[in-house]
Structure 1
Amino acid sequence: MPQTPSTSYSTPKPLRPSLPGIGWLPSRCLQAPPHPLACTRCIDACPAEALAFHENGDGVSLLARDACHGCAQCVPACPSEALVSAEIDALMADRAEGEPLRLGCHRVKDEDDLSRLHCLRALGTDLLAWLSARAAPEPMTLYLPDGCRNCPAAPEGARDAWKCDVEAFATVTDTPARNDFHATRRLVSRRDLLRGRPAPRLPAIAPNDAAPKARRLQRKLIAVEALADTQAPPALPGLSLNTDACRVHGVCARVCPTEALQETPYGELIFNALDCLDCGHCLAICPEGALQRAESHGATPLTLRETRVLDCFECARPFKSKVSGGAEEAAPACPACRRERALLQESFHDLFG
């Protein structure tokens, strides 16, 4: 018998009762406490404009209106994987290594060797790379009914960025649509029910996996490495620091929702691109604007700033000071004492000219 998950595990909350296959885990979400940081990528990705954050006495909830048809494009849009899909979780669990994979949506004709998702656009590039690496050296083929034309989940306009991404990992085949589009209604088909296949369930999340992390970036990087020379490695985020503008208060590291930007006990500011969600909150929060996006330095952690601990000449409190190549100050002062001194000088100037 399957073991019942421990009560310490977290189960994502369904976006609405009639849509049990897509769940939201607040502890991973950048919009929800304890972060909370402005992030609307899931809302922006929804073709039906059905998602909204709702503030209440308990914090923040993510809700879906009846306009949601279950395409789950919000799932790959979330950088911290706060949105999960029971369908996708079941698909990943069922994949054996070295087996060809044929995927179709609910509009494609039923076939025995065809794996199905309600909408294939629920698969982001990280999962496409993972599924392709899992199937290798066998092929992965995606069947798009009528090329997704006239589908409510398809983007407006001629350019389809998702299809361009798919073609890097799978063979894309246009096929006639055999069924009319409909919103997701159940998690298991009648055929699966007769075969005794259980309905997919939202996964239970372990306590050590409930925080925001760059899961998608790391999954894609591992998968692309497994695909050897057939794929270029994904672009990693990059940061640069204007050390002259930096005031060493460390607010950028404190606001980082992952461990991408950390300040060591010795005052060093370390950036690890493999943990970065590219959320941009460190850039927005810095009062001096000292941080900027930059070209990636690869997966090796980068030291953006080195500091030393000095004792303030005026108040005797220890403070962090940037390491520079110039001469050391004879009477170093902490930021608080420097501000107080500047205010006194300004007041003196105002009074006596």
Structure 2
Amino acid sequence: MAEALLEAAPGAVRALVLQGDTVLEAHLEREDQPLRPGHRAPAHLTKILVPGLRAVATLAGGAEVLLSPLPKAPEGSRIGLEITRSALPEADRPRLPRARPLGEIPPETPGPSLEARLRAAGHTVRPVTGPHDALEAAGWSETVNEATTGQIPFAGGLLTVTPTPAMITIDIDGDRAAELLAHSALVPLAKAIRRLDLQGSIAVDFPSLKGQARKALDEALSAALKAHLPGPHEATSINGFGLVQIVRPRTRPSLVEAVRTPGFHALELLRRAARHGHGPATLHAPPALIQWLAARPALIEAAERQRGGSLALRPDASLATSAAHVS
């Protein structure tokens, strides 16, 4: 049975699912993204986009969601709905959460928390507190770095993970012979999909193989996914160009998307300030990170209470995001 380390910090809850010293999964649940799958609420049908198919509904607090399929109700009607997919980050603007209509109008009820989802998956959950940074010691920063760079080395090769608006792409490259490289990538590929919580459509570019070699790779890929990627998923056969599509249910942002969402690195910096050290401190970061934090004084106050000292914010345009630090 895997153990999940769960840490609640200002602005977010983080978790690593471990098998011994190996990171199986990494998760982040932000406080500013409260519409989790399973969230039920009353809403108003505010705008029909495609008659009979899709509409925008608005919850009591003003949050908009994409509703599909449509209930038999006109615009302006009061309806009940359930969130099926959280909001997704994109370069221009986030994609709205998705929801389905309910047959009744329920009281507003939050969807299962990260802790609840981990327990439902059968993991032993261990909340981590105190001065020892168990999450960091277990590999949180290393996993975040994988998600940020998209580069995951394996014996003889490299996986490069790239998010796009349509899908996640994974390129397999290396200096081994094509067949050996392709087979060497299978287990690292399956483990990376799980570890980084990649969802939806995932396009993988394998070295091109022909005939029996391609058939054997198809069978080996199926076995690797079955062994190392729990939960529902489907995979196409590998085509003549080496491309295969793996599809997993899409319910929330992957870690690869989460690290690219505005505020992620600011929350990481705030976590370090809250956990490491005691007494007054200064957060040094690029202006965009400092502005994001300055606009959220409640988060600063929560981190100050955890640290036991005041936190000053100092913008520094000469710093890269990766060089943000606490002094």
The interval holding the TM-score normalised by the smaller chain is under 0.3
Bigger Cα Rg: 1
Say which structure is richer in strand.
Answer: 2
TM-score calculated relative to the size of structure 2 = 0.26
TM-score with structure 1 setting the length: 0.24
